[in-house]
Amino acid sequence: MGTTRIPISVKKGTTSKSIFEFDNTNLAPGTYLVKLVLYKVNEFGTDELLDVVPSAFGFEMNSKSGDTNNLEWTHRYWGHIKFNNLTIQEPKVLI
């Protein structure tokens, strides 16, 4: 999971576009599917789910030349991982 604490503000009935950056240096080679979850958290830590995009996008990490990684990743044992926070560029409102 990667999160951002940078507030994203949009008004109902408008569309906005934001560019997020994610540090993928610690990912093992393989194919990844990203689920986008939008939620808000108040100052007491209470969260409210706003929306979910189950298959927002996917990407593939390739082995580097000379990489000797022989691990076989079995999803049954993955668990939960917290990555560095996402960085976000200033949102742009598209009318």
Q: Rounded mean pLDDT of 45-70?
A: 82
Residue 55 one-letter amino acid:
S
How does DSSP assign 36-55, residue by residue? EEEEEE-TTS-EEEEEEEEE
User: Over the stretch 26-55, which tens digit does the pLDDT of each residue have?
Assistant: 777 778 888 888 888 888 989 898 888 888
Q: Rounded mean pLDDT of 5-24?
A: 76
Residue pair 7/38 in contact (Cβ under 8 Å)? The answer is: no
The predicted structure's pLDDT at residue 94: 58
Does the pTM surpass 0.85? The reply is no
Between 71 and 88, name the one with better pLDDT: 88
